[in-house]
A = this chain, B = another copy of it.
Amino acid sequence: MSRIAPLSGFPEWLPAQRIVEQHVLDEVRRVFELHGFASLETRAVEPLEQLLRKGEIDKEVYVVRRIHAGDDESADLGLHFDLTVPFARYVLQHAGHLEFPFRRYQIQKVWRGERPQEGRFREFTQADIDVVGRDTLAFHHEVEVALVMAEAFRALPMPPALILVNNRKLAEGFYRGLGAADPAAVLRAVDKLDKIGPEAVGALLREEAGLSGAAAASCLALAQIRTPDTSFVAQVRALGVTHPLLDEGLAELAAVVGACAERYPGAVVADLKIARGLDYYTGTVYETQLVGHEAVGSICSGGRYDSLASDGRTTYPGVGISLGVTRLVSVLLSHGLVEASRSVPTCVLVAVADEAGRAGSEAVAASLRARGVPTEVAPKADKYGKQIRYADRRGIPYVWFPGNAEPLKDIRSGAQVAADPETWLPPDSDRHPRVVRASLLETSSTRGDDDDSSRDARK
């Protein structure tokens, strides 16, 4: 094997890091299922023509082709770059077999053929939830998906996340109320605020969106409103613009922010500069900052779309939000924010005194496993010191010495005690690897804490 270098943009984790990622995936799945979202997976490829319909993303698509494809086979497949395009196709394809409103979650890899740059992945895992209706979809689902993601964030050993919410109706109604002829052009200009600053956006608004200086100033004033509660409503009203669509947007955004602020204080802000580039959003839009790590960009984004998919007869409106699992896990690992308590699932290593006695050690292991205790048997009848080091290097907490009157050694404390392989159970906190905020693991393992809630440092 000559080429064993990493590939830029294709992250891979070491075993202990993978345990952190698995914990994130498990918790996210648990929360999604707790709210009745059903799991789906779609194939990794879609017809290229479907992928390329989204103009902005076409430069990022990976084309897939059989190496010995016949001349009659066109290169017509690409790897999906998100989970929304395949989900829209899935809904149309299987609509006759689905019950609407259809609530699904989807946790899969996606691929983007971007030129490598720091913090950009070419392969990464997303975790999406969407609620999709047939013909209609009630507004309250726009509140719901934000609450579900806020609950997921609370369940994860991560820094606080701040969900930034805006509403397309609010923005469009405001622009229309100002007399803007092309509200989409206004939105595109405002979307550049973080990149080019207010002066340049003001120029764009006047020159490209055709606004007066006063109207452009109003748009910039709107974009600067940011409140952790529903007080944004009064601030918008104070700008003196009126339009029925603005009223509707203000009411919806107040409902989302009010409900989130009540249930998860500090988890959400109304941020009226949030635009989200994608054309298809029509109501609430979401972005999420990881507090203290804002520079990595949004870790969780989405919004309401009145037409996720349509077959000409039926239209499927939806609302969805997508967690960037790889981006999040990458931040947690690269900043040392979380740690796994061990690099293997194993809770107990059963020692082997000599190879002739291996069957006895296997019997102890089988007994422990029958009660759900992850157990390995030592690979070799080395001296016990070496077998203990085998466990220690992997973070396995217990070594079992079959035939010994006190067979069970906790190698962290050194304590060795009597135990029956037919009945012994580890403390719940030791059964599986724990994944905790880095500073907490040290403390809790020092004091031999067996409180399982330390799996989740923020509960």
Query: Does A141 count as interface, using CB distance less than 8 angstroms?
Result: yes
Among B47, B60, B141, the residue within 8 A (CB) of A3 is B47
- Chain A, range 57-84, C-beta contacts under 8 Å to B: 58-69, 77-79
- Chain A, range 1-27, C-beta contacts under 8 Å to B: 1-7, 10-15, 18-19, 21-22
By a CB distance below 8 angstroms, the chain B residues around A92 are: 1, 4
Known: A1-B309, A41-B13. A36 touches B93 (CB 8 A): no
A53 to chain B, nearest CB (A): 8
A127 to chain B, nearest CB (A): 15
Residues 157-198 of chain A, each 1 if its beta carbon lies under 8 Å from chain B, else 0: 000000000000000000000000000000000000000000
Residues 263-283 of chain A, each 1 if its beta carbon lies under 8 Å from chain B, else 0: 100000000000000000000
A15 and B40 contact, CB distance less than 8 A? yes
By a CB distance below 8 angstroms, the chain B residues around A68 are: 58-59, 113
One of A244-252, A339-347, A412-420, A446-454 at the interface: A339-347
By a CB distance below 8 angstroms, the chain B residues around A79 are: 64
One of A97-105, A293-301, A436-444 at the interface: A97-105
Among B15, B37, B366, B374, the residue within 8 A (CB) of A39 is B15
Query: Which B residue sits closest to A86, measured CB to CB?
Result: B12
Q: How far is the CA of A417 from the CA of B176 in the complex (A)?
A: 54
By a CB distance below 8 angstroms, the chain B residues around A309 are: 1
Query: Does A394 count as interface, using CB distance less than 8 angstroms?
Result: yes
By a CB distance below 8 angstroms, the chain B residues around A345 are: 33-34, 36-39
Q: How far is the CA of A310 from the CA of B415 in the complex (A)?
A: 41
A244 to chain B, nearest CB (A): 21
Q: How far is the CA of A141 from the CA of B68 in the complex (A)?
A: 38
A413 to chain B, nearest CB (A): 22
By a CB distance below 8 angstroms, the chain B residues around A15 are: 38-40, 98, 104
- Chain A, range 342-388, C-beta contacts under 8 Å to B: 343-346, 358, 366, 369, 372-376, 379-380
By a CB distance below 8 angstroms, the chain B residues around A346 are: 36
By a CB distance below 8 angstroms, the chain B residues around A104 are: 15
B43 and A101 contact, CB distance less than 8 A? no
- Chain A, range 85-122, C-beta contacts under 8 Å to B: 88-90, 92-94, 97-99, 101, 103-104, 109, 111, 113
Query: Which B residue sits closest to A40, measured CB to CB?
Result: B18
By a CB distance below 8 angstroms, the chain B residues around A13 are: 40-41
Q: How far is the CA of A343 from the CA of B11 in the complex (A)?
A: 34
A97 and B14 contact, CB distance less than 8 A? yes
Interface residues in A, total, Cβ within 8 A: 91
Q: How far is the CA of A432 from the CA of B109 in the complex (A)?
A: 26
By a CB distance below 8 angstroms, the chain B residues around A1 are: 50, 88-89, 92, 309-311
Query: Which B residue sits closest to A311, measured CB to CB?
Result: B1
Among B69, B103, B123, the residue within 8 A (CB) of A344 is B103
Q: How far is the CA of A379 from the CA of B113 in the complex (A)?
A: 39
By a CB distance below 8 angstroms, the chain B residues around A54 are: none
B34 and A3 contact, CB distance less than 8 A? no
Looking at A14, A52, A66, the one whose CB has the most chain B CB atoms below 10 A away is A66
A62 and B58 contact, CB distance less than 8 A? no
A89 to chain B, nearest CB (A): 6
By a CB distance below 8 angstroms, the chain B residues around A133 are: 379
Q: How far is the CA of A121 from the CA of B394 in the complex (A)?
A: 37
A376 and B44 contact, CB distance less than 8 A? no
A6 to chain B, nearest CB (A): 7
Query: Does A200 count as interface, using CB distance less than 8 angstroms?
Result: no
Query: Which B residue sits closest to A368, measured CB to CB?
Result: B34
Known: A43-B12, A92-B1, A345-B33. A380 touches B103 (CB 8 A): no
B3 and A49 contact, CB distance less than 8 A? yes
Q: List 21 A-B contacts (CB under 8 A).
A: A1-B310, A3-B50, A4-B89, A7-B45, A10-B43, A12-B43, A13-B40, A15-B98, A36-B375, A38-B345, A52-B67, A62-B65, A65-B65, A66-B113, A68-B113, A69-B113, A99-B393, A103-B376, A133-B379, A138-B380, A141-B379
- List the 5 closest A-B pairs by CB distance, nearest first: A66-B113, A36-B376, A36-B346, A33-B345, A10-B43
